[in-house]
Amino acid sequence: ETISKGNHAHFMRKEIFEQPLVVAQTLQSYVRAFDGEVAIPTADFDLSQVDRVTMVACGTSYYAGMVGKYWIERFARVPVDIDVASEFRYRDPVLEKGGLALFISQSGETADTLAALRHARAEGQKIAVVVNVPTSSMAREADLLLPTRAGPEIGVASTKAFTCQLAVLAALAVNLARARGRITADEEREIVSHLTEAPEAMARAIEHDDDIKAMAPLIAPARDVLYLGRGPDYPMALEGALKLKEISYIHAEGYAAGEMKHGPIALIDDAVPVIVLAPSGPLFDKTVSNMQEVSARGGKIILISDAEGIAAAGEGCVATIEMPSVHELIAPLVYAVPVQLLAYHVAVWKGTDVDQPRNLAKSVTVE
């Protein structure tokens, strides 16, 4: 079956727009509609016995894992160790017998991730995988298969597979939290109800497509772009920078907002756009002080926040992108949309090959 772009100019745009649907589809396979609980297909797996998780992935899938680490530690209070596959497989990691090793991959074929999986198995780990291709090598070699239901992803730069990975990791975090006795059934239902609001909130984020397109000329001439975030929005800053690099060929860095003073602040001048991902919440004021440090040096800020955040800190920014107000658990799913659209429109403005960026492959099956 040939997959068409429909009425979209590129597969990437089509895949960004599909996200509310495929994230809903993915969530439906984990959330039991009748009682609002999360059900992971655990088979012979006892999640209550998991007291450490080792996560391994590459590229965008690695950033999904970083968000998952925040959630699993926050909700289930299980420590998570995370590494990129090419480091993990050669660093002789300490893996205690019976631990859970979780591999995240759109293709299920990335050579480094697959080699890391085999290493973990040889070291006595239980193997769980979050993959989008159910017939892939990783899916076949797993003890626990946690599929994403993104459908085939054609654009080389991952978008919908990423947000579906986030949905699965959120479901896993909630399930682990219950299995470990960290949340009550009522708390679980409340968290799950926020999670099921994600597709609708993502659809509202997509409505900003035209506004974001209008911002492309602000970014396109830049040589360097900085993305800042805190908490789970720190990996989202890393992902935003990766997307921009991949398809627009502009150098971009993602940084933990509080770490900026230890280096990237030296780069800031009026030629460096700074994209700040900051939903309102307990860390918001801290990020606002980082924004002031950027403004004082002439940096041009694009603030991605909700109405409350924009009202509090939008003044002085060159542009703002208003996201719906959402529970902190689903913010990364929603904030993924504007960073993807921003990278997309900058790339289109520059005239690059959006779906097939130079030097990159959809699936890297060699080391």
Question: Catalytic site residues?
Answer: 362
Selected from 31, 38, 50, 58, the binder of ligand G6P by CB under 6 A is: 58
Interface with ligand G6P (CB under 6 A), residue from 19, 106, 148, 287:
106
Q: How far is 58 from 54, CA to CA, in rounded Å?
A: 14
For ligand G6P, how many residues bind (rule: CB under 6 A)? 16
Stretch that binds ligand G6P, among 7-15, 16-24, 52-60, 276-284 (CB under 6 A): 52-60
Q: Is 296 helix (H, G, I), strand (E, B) or coil?
A: helix
Q: Using the minimum distance from each CB to ligand G6P, give the nearer residue, 15 or 328.
A: 15
Name the percent of the chain in helix, strand, coil, to the closest 5.
Answer: 50, 15, 35
Instruction: Output the smallest distance, CB 333 to ligand G6P, in A.
Output: 17
Report if residue 340 touches ligand G6P, rule: CB under 6 A: no
* Distance (Å, whole) CA 52 – CA 128: 13
Angstrom CA distances, 110 to 24, 137, 365, stand at 26, 9, 5
Q: Does 363 bind ligand G6P (CB under 6 A)?
A: yes
Under rule CB under 6 A, residue 163 binds ligand G6P: no
Is 347 one of the binding residues for ligand G6P (CB under 6 A)? no
User: Which of 19, 53, 56, 59 contacts ligand G6P by CB under 6 A?
Assistant: 59
Which of residues 50 and 138 has its CB atom nearest to ligand G6P in the complex? 138
Which stretch of DSSP H or E encloses residue 228? strand 224-229
The one among 156, 168, 260, 317 contacting ligand G6P by CB under 6 A: 156
Considering beta carbons, is residue 271 or 360 the nearer one to ligand G6P?
Answer: 360
In the bound state with ligand G6P, the residue whose beta carbon lies nearer, of 110 and 340, is: 110
Q: Please report whether residue 265 would count as binding ligand G6P according to CB under 6 A.
A: no
- As given in the structure block, the two tokens for residue 15 are 């895949």
d(CA 347, CA 202) in angstroms, rounded, equals 22
Residue 59 or 279: the one with the smaller Cβ distance to ligand G6P is: 59
User: How near is the Cβ of 60 to ligand G6P at its closest, in Å?
Assistant: 3
Contact with ligand G6P (CB under 6 A) among 26, 158, 175, 280: 158
Stretch that binds ligand G6P, among 48-56, 156-164, 174-182, 303-311 (CB under 6 A): 156-164
Cβ 159 to ligand G6P, closest distance in Å?
Answer: 9
Q: Is residue 364 near ligand G6P by the rule CB under 6 A?
A: yes
CB of 34 to ligand G6P, least distance (A): 33
Q: Which residue is nearest to ligand G6P (CB)?
A: 59
Give the number of C-alpha atoms closer than 13 A to the C-alpha of residue 345, restricted to the C-beta side: 18
Question: Judged by CB under 6 A, which stretch of 59-67, 213-221, 305-313, 317-325 contacts ligand G6P?
Answer: 59-67
> 268 φ, ψ to 5°?
-70, 125
Asked if 137 touches ligand G6P (CB under 6 A), the answer is no
Q: How many CB atoms lie within 10 A of CB 145?
A: 19
DSSP 36-87: TEE----TT--GGG---EEEEE-HHHHHHHHHHHHHIIIII---EEEEEHHH
- Among residues 26, 61, 148, 305, the one that binds ligand G6P under rule CB under 6 A: 61
Cβ closer to ligand G6P: 116 or 326?
Answer: 116
- Give the pair of three-digit tokens for residue 55: 């996560």
Query: Kind and range of the H or E element at 27?
Result: helix 19-28
DSSP labels for 104-160? Answer: EESSS--HHHHHHHHHHHHTT-EEEEEES-TTSHHHHH-SEEEE-------SSS-SH
Question: Looking at beta carbons only, is 154 or 265 nearer to ligand G6P?
Answer: 154
The DSSP secondary-structure symbol of 1 reads -
Cα–Cα distance for residue pair 350/343, rounded to 1 Å? 11
Strands across the sheet with 273-277, in order? 251-256, 224-229, 273-277, 300-306, 319-323
What does the binding site for ligand G6P look like in residue numbers (CB under 6 A)?
A: 58-61, 105-107, 110, 113, 156-158, 360, 362-364
